[in-house]
Amino acid sequence: MQFTVAIDGPAAAGKGTISRAIAREFGFAHLDTGLLYRAVGAKGGNPVLAAQELTPDDLARADLRSLEAGEAASRVAAIPEVRAALVAFQRDFARREGGAVLDGRDIGTVIFPMAEVKLFVTATPETRARRRWLEADEKSASYEDVLNQVRERDARDMGRADAPLRPADDAVLLDTTEMSIAQAVDAAKASIARKLAQVQAQKQP
């Protein structure tokens, strides 16, 4: 069965944690599309060429979760040619048999707007900055520095001309500012379970 869950939202809102939990719960494959852009940014050189030549080994780099990789990802993601080079890979993954969860910033609006479930996960900039600062491997940056980075990245992601960050018109909004991880995951599970039951019922003879 093909069943696609698109989970979008800004940095450190919790979409990655939710996506991994959803994939485990329902047995879906999971793709963190942000890793594609982090890997392109981390490779350096010509970002368009890096995107065209991206390999699975590039996605296994140990430094892709660093603050620097996140900043590089946001910069290269604003380049239309980079996004175009990575679209086909993401769309093929979205329609694989057995179900798929993709998290990113334009999954429900650009990459796969026909997804059966669309979630937009968000939280206040202050909450997201604290989460990002606490989870960073290095603490060379202060919380205030990370908050400034989060706000700057939001401005880039929401203001770019190509595939700006925004919720799809039919996305379910999930604000995790005051939620625990368990509460956020449970809310996402409930939305997905309802839609999955509807799809399965429609397929019954």
SS3 of the chain: CCCEEEEECCCCCCHHHHHHHHHHHHCCEEEEHHHHHHHHHHHCCCHHHHHHCCCHHHHHCCCCCCHHHHHHHHHHHCCHHHHHHHHHHHHHHHCCCCCEEEEECCHHHHHCCCCCEEEEEECCHHHHHHHHHHHCCCCCCCHHHHHHHHHHHHHHHHHCCCCCCCCCCCCEEEECCCCCHHHHHHHHHHHHHHHHHHHHHHHCC
Biggest alpha carbon distance in the chain?
60
Domain that residue 61 falls in: 4-195
Q: Band of the pLDDT at 106, cuts 50, 70, 90?
A: very high
Q: What is the mean pLDDT of the chain?
A: 91
For residue 51 the two structure tokens come to 């995107």
User: Is residue 200 assigned to a domain?
Assistant: no
What average pLDDT score do residues 89-116 get? 94
Is 80 exceeded by the pLDDT of residue 138? no
pLDDT of residue 139: 63
For 173-200, the pLDDT digits (tens) are: 999 999 999 999 999 999 999 999 999 8
* Residue 15 assigned to a binding site: yes
pLDDT of residue 163: 84
Report the distance separating Cα 96 and Cα 144, nearest Å: 41
For residue 154 the two structure tokens come to 């939001």
pLDDT of residue 89: 83
* Residue 14 assigned to a binding site: yes
Report residue 2: phi and psi, to 5°.
Answer: -100, 125
User: Is residue 15 assigned to a domain?
Assistant: yes
For 49-88, the pLDDT digits (tens) are: 999 998 878 888 888 988 888 889 888 988 989 988 999 8
* Residue 168 assigned to a binding site: no
User: Is residue 150 assigned to a domain?
Assistant: yes
User: Is residue 172 assigned to a domain?
Assistant: yes
Single out the residue of 94, 114, 92 nearest to residue 104, CA to CA: 94
What average pLDDT score do residues 134-149 get? 82
pLDDT of residue 161: 83
Is 80 exceeded by the pLDDT of residue 169? yes
For 10-48, the pLDDT digits (tens) are: 988 999 999 999 999 999 999 999 899 999 999 999 999
* Residue 17 assigned to a binding site: yes
- Structurally, the chain folds into a number of domains equal to 1
* Residue 9 assigned to a binding site: yes
pLDDT of residue 68: 85
* Residue 108 assigned to a binding site: no
Is 70 exceeded by the pLDDT of residue 137? no
- Give the CATH number of the domain where residue 170 resides: 3.40.50.300
Residues shown for the chain:
205
User: Is residue 90 assigned to a domain?
Assistant: yes
In sequence order, which residues have a C-beta less than 8 Å from that of residue 155 and are 6 or more positions away?
A: none
113 against 74, higher pLDDT: 113
* Residue 141 assigned to a binding site: no
* Residue 44 assigned to a binding site: no
pLDDT of residue 60: 87
* Residue 99 assigned to a binding site: no
Residue environment code for 112-134, b if the CB has 16+ CB neighbours within 10 A, otherwise e: beebbbbbbbbbebebbbbbbbe
User: Is residue 189 assigned to a domain?
Assistant: yes
Report the distance separating Cα 188 and Cα 183, nearest Å: 9
3 against 162, higher pLDDT: 3
Is 90 exceeded by the pLDDT of residue 123? yes
